[in-house]
Each structure stands twice: as structure tokens, then as C-alpha cells.
Structure 1
Amino acid sequence: MRNNGQFSKRIKKRYETFWHDSQAEEIRNTPMSQYDSIEKWKAAPYWQRRLSNKHNAREFAKKNGCKVPDLYWKGTDIENLDFSKLPSHYVIRPTIGHSCNHVFVMDNGQNLFDKKQYSHEEIKKILKWEVTKNPVLEFLVEEFLQNEEGNYAILTDYKFYCFNGEIACLYAINRLSPKSGFGTFYDEHWNQLKKVQFNYPPIDNQKAPHCFKEMVETAKKLSKSYDMFVRIDLYATAKGCVFGEFTPTPSMGMNFTSFGKKLMLAYWDKYCYGYI
């Protein structure tokens, strides 16, 4: 029963509406800037599709006054990516994709996500192959954000489930790798909630990050600008709350508990009634 019910159906309908459309890729991959007017941002049907491009999402977050990681390089011409100009710690991620696929969280040559060493040429070969398969795909090389203690480590994910400026819940995930970790759900006041999804085993005694107030304010601000339901991923870092990405169809609506489905639908019907 995890993948049935009205909430799952709404997410699947959104996915079909967003992406089973001849304009979808053009809308998503048209480059946008923080300096573009909001009218230009919204000058497309289901304009939120622009924000599924991770570079556009960065620009939109900056437009809303939110912090993002420093950007070292962006492009498709992987051969011209000069690793000699990068610091010893950096992150590579694609502008299109999900589930941390083709993400490198590099610490002195080691990808912390798979604990393997990579040469610069090995990374280039992988990135080039992905661009060959999808020519509109770009890669971002970004700052490796330090955690609140000032250390380089895989950051805790804070995933806020938001409805037009309102937070239904957040999922704090102590990540070990892209697909493993421990996580617990909270409300916007850091009160623990019942499990909303089955994704990760729960963990006790998590402490709210020092910048939690800023995170809540950021999630609400970005959610209000997004207009409809979205999951907003944020990080607690040495420089405060930093934006990660928007996820319009989290887990394709699957693996939600009975409590989670009821919670999502209650917020959707109250704050986003009539929205896809």
C-alpha cells in the first residue's frame, strides 16, 4: 500500500504533466539568471520546470536572497575543465538528474560518496560519456561546503516538504552515501514526528542545526516563490543555511507511510488547493 493513494496519484500526474510534453526539455534547460525579471522566469507553462535544472535553481535561490555554494566551473566541454585551478575539496554534479547520480564529493582525490580514488582523467572520461548520451546536460563544479563544525564531510540533508510558504515537515538525514544513512522527521519547531516515509532507518537524539531558524525562513521564502508543493533541500554549513535543490516529485510519491500521505494531502488541500 506504500505506493497507492491520492498523494501518490497527484505526484505521478504532476510528473506526467511536467515531463510528457514536447516543451519540457526546452523550458528546463533554457539558461536563466538571478537578474531576470520574475515575469521572465514565469513566462512558460508550469514554469517551475525551469528549477529542475540545478544551475537555474541556484540562480532562482540567489534571486530570493539565499546562499548557494561558490561555482568554480560550468559547462559541457569537459576537456576544458582545468583541475589544476580547483581546490583540494570540490563537488561535481549534473544540472539534470536525481538520486545523486554522477555526483562527485571530492576530498583530495577521493569521492566520499563511494570511497574510491579518482584521477582527473577518470573523472573526465565519466563526465564526457554522460554528455555524449545527453548533449544538453551540463556539469557544475562547486564549493565543497564545510559543516557547522568547519569540517569537510558528507553533509546532513535537511529536506523540507513545503506548500506555498508552509512547511508540512522536514527530513533530517545523516547521510553515509547517496543511498544509505539514518533520518528522522520533524516539524518546523524541531518537534519529532511519526515516520512520513520509509526511506531510511530512524535515528534518535538528532540536534537542530545552529542555523535552523535561518533554514526555516529560507524554506518558507523559496516555497512561497515556487507557488506549489515542492521539497526543498537545504544544508547547515559553516556559513549558515545554504540552498541545495528543488524536488517537485519526491520519490515519485512512493514509500510514504499512511501518516505521511495524510499529512501531505492535508497541507496540499489547505495551502495548494487546485494546484497540480
Structure 2
Amino acid sequence: MRFEQWLDRYSRALERRILRLAPPPKPDHPLFSERIKARRKRWWNDGVDHPSKKLCPKIGGQDYVRSLGHAVPEVYAILPRITTLPHLDQLPERFVLKPLADNSVNNVFLMDRSTCLLQHRRLTREDIIAQVGPDYTQGFMIEEMLMHHDGRHHIANDIKFYMFGDKPAFVVMIERNSVKNKKLNRYWYMTQDWQRLPIRVSANQCQEQVMPPMPDCYPNMLGIARDIGRRLNTFVRLDMYATDRGPVFGEFTHFPNGGRNYTLKSDIWLGSLWKGEEGCDDPPSGREEPILTIAKAG
């Protein structure tokens, strides 16, 4: 365990103790976590229709973003079940295998010449099917592996925008190094202008304190996020990648973390940003406007 992680765990324990002794006053608005859980119930349990529901499957989201002229990963194949996975020697040397609808890293395989990069070991087709489970009913997609923006031999970092319409509340960058030992992964929480976020958001992730260099493609990426957010005009998390070919859209996440594991302070803050039923007061805008960008710092 890194010293920063030990210190982070100690700080979290101290914060929880303080909150038990002196809880903050109840806010005059619903918490962000309550909004997310209410949306899930409204969309899936109650069957309320909303245009953004069509963007929940990865393919639906990528098709929409592609139609706007933004880059998405190349899709090699769609599999109805994991048992229809081809032999690995029939696939490109590098590829990503992921479920069509799940928004976590569960059952995601980043394969480079038969080596799973996040498990740090070689896998066969049979190994992958056994890990997922042959009775798993969800479909899968096989898409290109996106590489790090600075040209190193490493997968591209995730950059996630928490959008209320065209306004990013904050941005998270994730450097994924392992699915087994998640302490090896690194998380940066920041403002849209690439400054460290002064509030702790995640209750269970160690937030890095030293900011990394801004990727050259980040200003364009922010512009794309704001363009898409303006068109949808709801709350949504836009998951993108900083790659060696520029910004690439990954997927939409409408229920980030299922509304769980937010600190109370961030839960109150994000809840205060939520307007109307779906996060913004106004209906989605179809106006054509130029994509917004920012000047690269430094």
C-alpha cells in the first residue's frame, strides 16, 4: 500500500467519526444518490420512457455519438453470448471484449497477444468463457483497444465527465492497471480546467493529490463533452478516452456507481446541481452550435 493510500484510509475513517459525532444539517433538496436511484426506478421499474434510455446500451450510445461526427472505437464483432466468442487467433492482436450493457469493468478483457493486460496473465478462449460463465445471458462486443495518448505501450486513460447539460460538474481521470488489485489503479478528480477538485467525491477511491500533465487532446475532448451534453440536456456521465488518435467516446453512464459510495459532502453538492426531473430544467436542445473548446493550459 502506498503511503498516500494509507493516509487516505486514515483520513476517511476520521471523517466518518466526525460525521457521526456532528452530522451536517439535512439539505433542503434530494441527495445526488437519491436522484440516481429514483431515475433507475423510474426508467426500469416503472417503465417511464425517456429518449436517453436508447443510449444506455453501448452500441446505441456509440451510434448516436458517431452520428454527431465524433470518434468512437472500431467495433469488430457483436456476440449474442460469450460462448460464441471466436478463437483468439481469429481476432486482431489487440482487442477489448466487454458486455453490451454493463457499465463496470466486470467481465471486461483487454487482450494483447493473448495476454489480459488488467489480469497480467495469458488467457485462452476457454479461460475467458469460464471466467464469465457459460450461462451468462448478456451479449458482448469486441472492439479496438485504445492506446495511451502519449504513445506509451499502455491502454488509454478513462476520462469521465459528470455533465449537467453542457456544464461539467467535475471530471475524473482513471489510470487502470489491474482488476485484481485495485489499489494499483489511480484516480484524479478535477475541475473542467484541469485543477484538482477541492472536494472529496468518492468514499472508497484514493484521490491522487498531484495533478498529471493535461493531454493535448483534452481541450477538444471537453468541447465534445459539452456539445453532447447540450444536446441531451440531462444529467449524464460521458465516458471518454484520451488516445494516441485524439479523444474517443466510450459510453454513456446514466446511473454512475448506482448512486452509491459518494461522500456526504459531494452527495449534497451534486444534489444541489440537479434541476428538474432529469437534471436540467429545459428540454433537450437540437440547435446547431459550434463545439466549445478551452485553451490548453501551459
TM range (shorter): 0.7 to 0.9
Counterparts in 2 of 1:125 and 1:175: CA distance versus 1, 3 Å: closer
Query: Retained in 1: the 8 A contact 2:220–2:247?
Result: yes
> 2:102 matched to which residue of 1?
97
Distance 2:265 2:131 in 1: 41
Q: Could you tell me which of 87, 91, 99 is aligned with 1:86?
A: 91
- 2:215 equivalent to 1:214: no
Q: Could you tell me which of 206, 225, 228 is aligned with 2:231?
A: 225
Query: Retained in 2: the 8 A contact 1:144–1:152?
Result: no
TM-score by length of 1: 0.81
Deviation of 1:127 (Å): 5.7
- 2:202 equivalent to 1:192: no
Matches for 1:39-50 after TM superposition, within 5 Å: 45-50=49-54
Distance 2:241 2:50 in 1: 27
Cα deviation 1:18-38 (Å, max 9, x = unaligned): 2214x58xxxxxxxxxxxxxx
Query: Retained in 2: the 8 A contact 1:64–1:221?
Result: no
Deviation of 1:219 (Å): 1.0
> 1:272 matched to which residue of 2?
280
Deviation of 1:47 (Å): 2.4
Distance 2:267 2:133 in 1: 40
Distance 1:160 1:198 in 2: 18
Distance 2:84 2:264 in 1: 49
> 1:177 matched to which residue of 2?
178
SS state at 2:173 partner: strand
How many residues align structurally? 249
Deviation of 1:128 (Å): 7.0
Query: Retained in 2: the 8 A contact 1:171–1:185?
Result: yes
Query: Retained in 1: the 8 A contact 2:70–2:249?
Result: yes
Distance 1:59 1:109 in 2: 29
**Unmatched segments (≥5 aa) in structure 1:** 25-44
SS state at 1:149 partner: coil
Query: Retained in 1: the 8 A contact 2:79–2:85?
Result: no
Deviation of 1:157 (Å): 1.6
Deviation of 1:109 (Å): 1.0
Distance 1:152 1:56 in 2: 30
> 2:8 matched to which residue of 1?
none
Counterparts in 2 of 1:80 and 1:115: CA distance versus 1, 3 Å: closer
Query: Retained in 2: the 8 A contact 1:168–1:263?
Result: no
TM-score by length of 2: 0.75
Deviation of 1:103 (Å): 0.7
> 1:61 matched to which residue of 2?
65
SS state at 1:177 partner: coil
Using the aligned pairs only, state the percent identity: 29
> 1:121 matched to which residue of 2?
126
Deviation of 1:67 (Å): 0.7
SS state at 2:176 partner: strand
Distance 2:163 2:204 in 1: 18
Amino acid corresponding to residue 151 of structure 2 in structure 1: G
Distance 1:263 1:159 in 2: 18
Q: CA RMSD in A?
A: 2.5
Deviation of 1:212 (Å): 0.7
> 1:29 matched to which residue of 2?
none
Counterparts in 2 of 1:59 and 1:255: CA distance versus 1, 3 Å: same
Distance 1:114 1:150 in 2: 22
Cα deviation 1:136-181 (Å, max 9, x = unaligned): x321111011111223423322111001111111011222224442
Amino acid corresponding to residue 9 of structure 1 in structure 2: E
SS state at 2:257 partner: helix
Cα deviation 1:20-60 (Å, max 9, x = unaligned): 14x58xxxxxxxxxxxxxxxxxxxx2121221111111111
Deviation of 1:81 (Å): 2.8
Q: Could you tell me which of 231, 247, 251 is aligned with 2:253?
A: 247
Amino acid corresponding to residue 165 of structure 2 in structure 1: N
